[in-house]
Amino acid sequence: MNQSSCLVGLSVVGLGLLPLPSLGMPVAGGNHHEMHSHGIIEVRAGQLAPTIALEVTPDQKRGYNLRIKTTNFQFTPGAINTPSNVNTGHGHLYINGKMVTRVYCPDFFLPPLAPGRNEIKVSLNGNNHDQIVYQGKPVAATVVVEVPGK
């Protein structure tokens, strides 16, 4: 998959986001990530540790654009559910502490957020969904988006 053509939208109910049903993403029936947990994959000595940083900017029309900046990590959507290594995989997107979707590329569209403080977090995960961990800490980044009240 060409990463430059990977801008994706999100439709979520119950997190204070405006639903975007035209995207065809499931919005009912729970989240399988809340039903079970995944393992971890530890960056070992001699391996290049991945890093992650997030940038959220207002979209010109509505919502926000999320840019996931990584080093020593490549998004590999075609390898999902295959054995993991610490330098390839996907992200898990959390909004206000709830895992809402997987992220397979560095650019992602977020619909309008609820007024107030919104915590956006992305963790890096291996192809089999194991959390990538470096020096005992998950490889993840968090940014807070303050949305003015009504």
pLDDT digits (tens, 9 = 90+) for 136-146: 999 999 999 99
85-89 mean pLDDT: 97
Whole-number Cα distances in Å, 69 to 28, 51, 75, 85, 105: 30, 8, 11, 19, 10
Whole-number Cα distances in Å, 48 to 11, 40, 73, 119, 128: 34, 16, 9, 28, 19
H or E element at residue 95? strand 88-95
Say if residues 27 and 66 touch (Cβ distance below 8 Å). Answer: no
Could you please state the CATH topology (level 3) that the domain comprising 3-17+31-147 is classified under. Immunoglobulin-like (2.60.40)
* Adjacent-strand bridge partners of 41: 132
pLDDT band at 24 (very low <50, low <70, confident <90, very high): very low
The fraction of the chain above a pLDDT of 90, given in percent, is 73
Work out the mean pLDDT of the chain and round it to a whole number: 82
- Model's pTM, two decimal places? 0.79
Domain ranges of the chain: 3-17+31-147
